[in-house]
Amino acid sequence: MTILLFILVLLMLVLGHEFGHFWAAKMAGIRVDEFGVGLPPRIFGRIRRGTLWSINWIPLGGFVRIFGED
């Protein structure tokens, strides 16, 4: 139970951090290609307002893929 709670708290912290990157890019007018919860490979994805919102298999982390970033 403790490990599950740790993963959940870590995921929430990472998602908050990554959402800050997402928000800053959108406010600056930069295209955001993907906002991912977890790390790839992808389980599910949906495009909304030009951004792919995805849920991935590895639950430790998240990411924001910004246009032009390699």
H or E element in which residue 22 lies:
helix 2-27
Which residues on neighbouring strands pair with residue 63, listed in sequence order? 36
Measured distance CA(52)–CA(64) in Å, rounded: 10
Measured distance CA(24)–CA(63) in Å, rounded: 14
Our answer to whether residue 18 is catalytic in this structure is yes
Which of 11, 18, 39, 61 is labelled catalytic? 18
Q: Give the active site residues.
A: 18
